[in-house]
Amino acid sequence: MKKIAAALAAVALCAGAQAATVSDSFTNTLQHTDFTNQTGTLDLFNTALGTLTGVSLTLYGQSVTDLVLTNTSNSVSEASASTRTRLTFSSSIGALSSLIGGSYKIQLLPTTDDTTLNPGQSATFNDVSDNSSYVVTGLNAILSAFNSSAGHNTFTISCSSATRLLTSVSGGNSDATQNTEAGCGASVVYTYTAAPTPHPTPEPASLALVGLGLAGVGVARRKAKRA
């Protein structure tokens, strides 16, 4: 009987709480800068899965630009250009907005190679790109904000962009034009303790059969001793 009890206890432990993860993400398509509220949706943690123990949230940004440089001086010049795009973020979760809001969290800086231009000459650079990410910290302090509740199963992350054209010229003057697109995204990973698996309660008929079986074993043992 002790061996049976030990085996049952081991099964109960295996069916108990287990650590697990679940994740979600979104990526917005690129759009012309500057935009003011590009938005994506992420799932809140489904509390039916168990107890939330940790959250990891990463913000993403990407920009792609076309640049044209023109030497407007009367001498040979060397030039390059960048489009600096800064992304600021907010969220439908107020406590999260306090962590990611305010100053920009991602800066994108696609930059051309240095190019030598004769007077009046132009150079075109297409699809110059850059991407970056930002890992949000301090989420354990607002863990409960990520739990789903009645009628609330998702939350949003929004971003706005601010783009500036930067040029570097030596030996003369130049003009530069840019056409820039950018987009943001995010991913969330929830760590949780899974809810224990419920054990089915034996039906009365099943218990009766087990009882009859045990009784039969007892009778057989008594007969064997008498023999």
Could you read off the pLDDT of 14-65 as tens digits, one per residue?
A: 445 688 999 999 999 999 999 999 999 999 999 999 999 999 999 999 999 9
Count Cα neighbours of 157 within 13 Å in the Cβ-side half-sphere.
30
**Distance, CA of 141 to CA of 98 (rounded, Å):** 12
Strands (E) located in 75-203? 77-91, 106-108, 115-117, 122-135, 154-170, 174-194
pLDDT of 52-108, one tens digit each? Answer: 999 999 999 999 999 999 999 899 999 999 999 999 999 999 999 999 999 999 999
Q: What type of residue sits at position 194?
A: A
d(CA 105, CA 166) in angstroms, rounded, equals 20
Give the pLDDT confidence score for residue 17 in this predicted structure.
62
pLDDT tens profile 149-172: 888 999 999 999 999 999 988 877
Confidence of residue 173 (pLDDT cuts 50, 70, 90): confident
Name the residue among 188, 185, 186, 184 with its Cα closest to residue 146: 188
Q: What is the pLDDT of residue 174?
A: 85
Structure tokens at 57: 């949230």
Domain residue ranges in the chain = 17-201
Radius of gyration of the chain (CA): 32
Q: Can you give the pTM of this predicted structure?
A: 0.78
If you average pLDDT over residues 128-149, what whole number do you get?
97
pLDDT digit string, tens, across residues 191-212? 999 987 666 665 555 555 545 4
Q: Is 198 helix (H, G, I), strand (E, B) or coil?
A: coil
User: How far is C-alpha 109 from the geometric centre of its chain's CA atoms?
Assistant: 23
User: Tokens 């302090």 sit at which residue?
Assistant: 141
